[in-house]
A and B are shown apart, each in its own frame.
Chain A
Amino acid sequence: MTIDWAIVEMAIPLLAVGTVMTLKIASLAALFGLTGGIGLGLVSLGGWTWARWLVRAYVDFVRGTPLLIQIFIVFFGLPLMGFRLGEFWAGVIALSINCAAYVAEIVRGTVGSVEKGQTEAAKSIGMTQGTILLHILLPQSIRPMVPALTNDVITLLKNTSLLSVISVYELTRSGQAVIASHFAPLEIFALLAIYYYAIISVLSWVSRVIERRLPAW
């Protein structure tokens, strides 16, 4: 078989449009997912019993159901609840909800594994649970959390491709559009793979730089 280079050349700028959308969605969802997940993780470590229980149930639900189903639930559920936000925000929300659950687990695991003596020393000077979490345990956990959080952001980025099913014009969807009009699936899918790979390589590199820059004691 031969590669149709003309189609490849034509597709490169078209896919760039989808890339911008993918980056937009991924950035927003990463922002909400990380902040929400850190908050939920802290609640599951130090909150009231009922709040911990709610976070547990939330994490369980997200981990126990396919993302595709979660996307559909948000997409069809939001309008029923009176929110007409469109497929872009439905996608951002679905991915944020999904990401936050995994981040919460990472935060719980990492913060929970800080050496026990730290909590005891903090208690011995009269600190309460919330203060200990915020000022003693969380700052010590940030650096060890970076690799796992990067993984989650990478997964999130790949998961944006699932939003093509609710017609969000992101990278995968833009590729499908080219395939539909020019029928060159192999070229386009290979090109899509390269695009994703490039974005993720940059992400990994940024994460390594961040990890190196963060203070180690």
Chain B
Amino acid sequence: MTNGTRSDVAPPVPVGPLLSVQGLRKSYGDREILKGISFDVIAGQTLVLIGPSGSGKTTVLRCLNYLEVPDAGTIELAGEPIGGAYVGEPAHWTPLPEVRLALQRRKFGFVFQRFNLFPHLTALQNVAIGPRKVLGLSRPAAEARAAEQLARVSLEDHLHKRPSQLSGGQQQRVAIARALAMEPRMILFDEPTSALDPELVHEVLDVMGTLAREGMTMIVVTHEMGFARRAADRLIFMADGRIVEEGAPEAVFSAPREEKTQRFLAHILNR
């Protein structure tokens, strides 16, 4: 507009980050686990979250999709506050009812350390049940979508097996397909490979790497530093409920600024 010419290209909508977390706090009893966590995730990027055991990484992920209710802080996904809304005059925070919360939760995919597949359902049913019971797709449509997502994680030959008939790596890939089938805005991975036998780790990381390249927005808690190097756009190092260091993975790995980060990296890279 400043140069006075009209453009038929729409002006770029000012886009903020896809996910914005501010001042997240969470205590269990009188132990404060998250002591004010703030970060952003840009659409299409992969954020890797590392840190020692007990630092609160899982709790961050669980708060994001409200499996755990944070004590303080705000979470915004594409500008929409998660878990509640400001209503009334003067505006005050009102938690959402369970049904509205469920609508928000499905915008986050969640991949658990221990897969948490439904043992009574086949791989296909595990992936189809969300589209069917939550999105209201017909059975054929839901199963078609499920088959498509299972093919994406190279499990097209295992559609009718139950979780107990699949290897750990295969189970975790079913879990990823289950998350993908809901067409989430982003996927949260909580140590997706740490329950796997070492020789099965790569098949899950390969799938995740592909997703990252295809532009899926992801937050990944992991101890796989190779994956962090290859796939992360940003890296956050957490310790004791706080973000200690944050930056491009290469920068953090090669020149960690904080002593805690240095010690952690030395420890984990020399395992």
Contacts and interface: CB of A to CB of B under 8 A. Distances in A.
B117 to A, nearest CB: 7
Contacts of A140: 118-120
Nearest to B117: A121
Interface string A153-197: 000000000000000000000000000000000000000000000
A131 interface: yes
Interface stretch (A69-77, A94-102, A122-130): A122-130
Contacts of A128: 98-99, 102
Contact of B134 (A121, A127, A215): A127
Nearest to B164: A217
Contacts of B129: 125, 135
Interface string A118-154: 1011111111110100011001100000000000000
A79 B16 CA distance: 71
Interface residues of A, number: 19
Contacts of A131: 133-134
Interface string B185-209: 0000000000000000000000000
Contact of A123 (B105, B163, B175): B105
Contact of A126 (B163, B164, B175, B182): B182
Contacts, number: 68
B103 to A, nearest CB: 7
A81 to B, nearest CB: 37
A135 B133 contact: yes
Contacts of A64: none
Size bracket, chain B contacts: 20 to 34
A117 interface: yes
Main secondary structure on B side of the interface with A: mixed
Contacts of A124: 65, 67, 105-106, 108-110, 112, 179
Contacts of A136: 118
B120 A139 contact: yes
B178 interface: yes
Interface centre among A123, A124, A129, A139 (most CB of B within 10 A): A124
A51 B117 CA distance: 31
B186 to A, nearest CB: 12
A128 B135 CA distance: 12
Contacts of B162: 217
Interface in A90-123: 117-118, 120-123
24 contacts: A117-B112, A117-B116, A121-B116, A122-B118, A123-B105, A124-B65, A124-B108, A124-B109, A124-B112, A125-B106, A125-B178, A125-B179, A126-B102, A128-B98, A128-B102, A129-B98, A135-B129, A136-B118, A139-B120, A140-B120, A217-B119, A217-B120, A217-B162, A217-B163
